[in-house]
Amino acid sequence: MSKLLPPHGGKGLTVTLLEGSERDAELKKAQGLRKVEISRGERGDLIMIGTGGFSPLGGFMTREDWKGVCENMLLADGTFWPVPVNLSVSKEDFDAINDGDEVALYFAEKDEFMATMKITQKWEKSEDDKKWECETVYKGQGEESADDVFWKIAMEDHPGVQRVMADKNYFLAGPVKVLSEGDFPTKFKGTYMRPADARAEFDKRGWGTVAALQLRNPMHRSHEHLVKIAIEVCDGAFIHSLIGALKPGDIPAEVRIECINTLIDGYFVKDFAVQGGYPLDMRYAGPREALLHATFRQNYGVSHMIIGRDHAGVGDFYTLFEAQEIFDRIPYAQEGCPDPGKALLCKPLKIDWTFYCKKCDGMASMRTCPHGKDDRVILSGTKLRKALSDGEPVVDHFGREEVLEILREYYAGLTEKVEVKMQKAASGADMK
């Protein structure tokens, strides 16, 4: 019997991905339905719904779900959920579709039918609604989220806000039957995992407690240190990389996967570390996204989510440990849930700011190192990307040399580089 946490929502894995003859029949039906185009971000959400990664969601949210998630982090039925998962459509599609209709969800970039969907609700968001969503979900406590600053810069500097405001004002809700996982299973063969795959791997290893590390940057010494701490207190660690879309200037998934494999091969006991990939695009929602990461990781069998400094942040919209603090304020975190399956069971593994200390002669944190700022090598993915992008030397103890060689080769092959903006969290400006 599995020792892993049950999936979120109390209903087991909600899998809507069809396979075999059932998929063939539904795909044939899709070709005769009204074709509704979806965005790249919606495609990632759809695949997560299909594979059970977004359990208990079986489709896109109603207006009641959306409002409850933004306002209280609860779906309409009282299940914890921290970030909206919506499907926006054109006015033409909205007007032509009625409740009860079935439509085909189509990803034009790859010329692929991704799913069929039965419409249970048509609903709208005004521009004010979208701004309210941005303020409740994406606005943090950092200096760039101050009331007199946020809307002056968010449309230019916050990818999550850009995504919400770029949505059309018309939305469809309803269950989906997913027909495809896109090119993720082939492009990332051996790394891409469905929740059931991850659970089977953890069960095979006899794990009951599993800590996940969220990665969107190359794995540097601080990440390595975090995972090794987690392995000491849990049965094993799941290094779980985002393989969907990032913002310009971030490093592609293929390169990051090679870096992680190199680290696991050279610096980990393989019995206690597993690498996996998942197909979402980053939302950069900081604290709310940290909660989303814990929520869907529970579906993968994870019991603890590693939350360090500036988790899922962008710019200076969030304070350094805001993503840790939010776990203490979520519904059901400190009081009983009427249905325990609806509460978030995956716990945060909160770890302080980590760095290399020259005087300690090793990795340390603010809680373990008594020395000053001048003795510390401040590690961050953004700082590493900026140094490599600008052709600057990488300071000693920042990363493993084998990994840095992979990254240098990648940057040397770029014909066009994107300027990497340094925020305070990455530069170490806030370190005392």
The predicted pLDDT at position 216 comes to 83
On the CB side of 23, CA atoms within 13 Å amount to 13
Q: E strands along 360-409, which residues?
A: 362-365, 376-378
CA dist., res. 351 & res. 306, Å (int)? 7
On the CB side of 95, CA atoms within 13 Å amount to 3
| H/E segment holding residue 293 | helix 287-299
Please check whether residues 41 and 110 belong to one and the same domain: yes
Please check whether residues 344 and 285 belong to one and the same domain: yes
Structural domain includes residue 7: no
Q: What's phi and psi for 299, nearest 5 deg? A: -65, -25
Please check whether residues 238 and 369 belong to one and the same domain: yes
Number of structural domains in the chain: 2
| Cα 334 to the center of its chain, rounded Å | 25
Annotation marks residue 217 as catalytic: yes
Residue where a domain stops, chosen among 180, 203, 224: 180
Span between the terminal Cα atoms of the chain, in Å: 48
- CATH number, position 282: 3.40.50.620
Structural domain includes residue 147: no
Please check whether residues 267 and 395 belong to one and the same domain: yes
CA dist., res. 213 & res. 226, Å (int)? 8
Structural domain includes residue 150: no
Residue where a domain stops, chosen among 180, 207, 227: 180
Active-site entry in 43, 217, 283, 299: 217
Structural domain includes residue 214: yes
The predicted pLDDT at position 219 comes to 83
∠ at Cα 249 (243, 250), nearest 5°? 25
CA dist., res. 56 & res. 284, Å (int)? 23
CB 241 within 8 A of CB 400: no
- CATH number, position 64: 3.10.400.10
Torsion of CA 7, 56, 305, 255, to 10 degrees: 110
Residue whose pair of structure tokens reads 């849990």 in the numeric block: 234
**Nearest residue to 154 (alpha-carbon basis) of 166, 172, 171:** 166
CA dist., res. 422 & res. 139, Å (int)? 19
∠ at Cα 431 (427, 432), nearest 5°? 150
Structure tokens at 72: 């209280």
**Nearest residue to 168 (alpha-carbon basis) of 31, 35, 42, 76:** 42
C-alpha distances out from residue 407 to 139, 173, 269, 422, Å = 32, 42, 23, 19
One-letter amino acid of 382: T
CA dist., res. 177 & res. 52, Å (int)? 12
pLDDT digits (tens, 9 = 90+) for 176-219: 999 999 999 999 999 999 999 999 999 999 999 999 999 888 78
One-letter amino acid of 428: G
**Nearest residue to 314 (alpha-carbon basis) of 421, 212, 222:** 421
Please check whether residues 268 and 402 belong to one and the same domain: yes
Structure tokens at 423: 């925020």
Torsion of CA 215, 217, 221, 225, to 10 degrees: -10
Please check whether residues 216 and 358 belong to one and the same domain: yes
Structure tokens at 367: 């809680």
Range of the domain at 332: 185-432
Structure tokens at 381: 């993915």
pLDDT digits (tens, 9 = 90+) for 147-184: 999 999 999 999 999 999 999 999 999 999 999 999 99
Neighbour tally for 90: CB within 10 Å:
13
- What 8-state DSSP symbol labels residue 272? G
- What 8-state DSSP symbol labels residue 374? G
Please check whether residues 241 and 350 belong to one and the same domain: yes
Q: E strands along 206-297, which residues?
A: 210-215, 236-242, 273-278
List the chain pLDDT tens, one digit each, 432 residues: 899 999 999 999 999 999 999 999 999 999 999 999 999 999 999 999 999 999 999 999 999 999 999 999 999 999 999 999 999 999 999 999 999 999 999 999 999 999 999 999 999 999 999 999 999 999 999 999 999 999 999 999 999 999 999 999 999 999 999 999 999 999 999 999 999 999 999 999 999 999 999 988 878 898 999 999 999 999 999 999 999 877 777 788 999 999 999 999 999 999 999 999 999 998 999 999 999 999 999 999 999 999 998 999 999 999 999 999 999 999 876 566 778 899 999 999 999 999 999 999 999 999 999 999 999 998 777 778 888 888 888 888 888 999 999 998 998 888 776 566 655 555 555 656
Structural domain includes residue 233: yes
Three-state secondary-structure class, residue 38: coil
Neighbour tally for 92: CB within 10 Å:
9
CA dist., res. 342 & res. 98, Å (int)? 31
CA dist., res. 258 & res. 277, Å (int)? 12
Please check whether residues 231 and 308 belong to one and the same domain: yes
pLDDT digits (tens, 9 = 90+) for 83-119: 999 999 999 999 999 999 999 999 999 999 999 999 9
CA dist., res. 288 & res. 136, Å (int)? 9
Please check whether residues 107 and 251 belong to one and the same domain: no
Please check whether residues 403 and 286 belong to one and the same domain: yes
Structural domain includes residue 352: yes
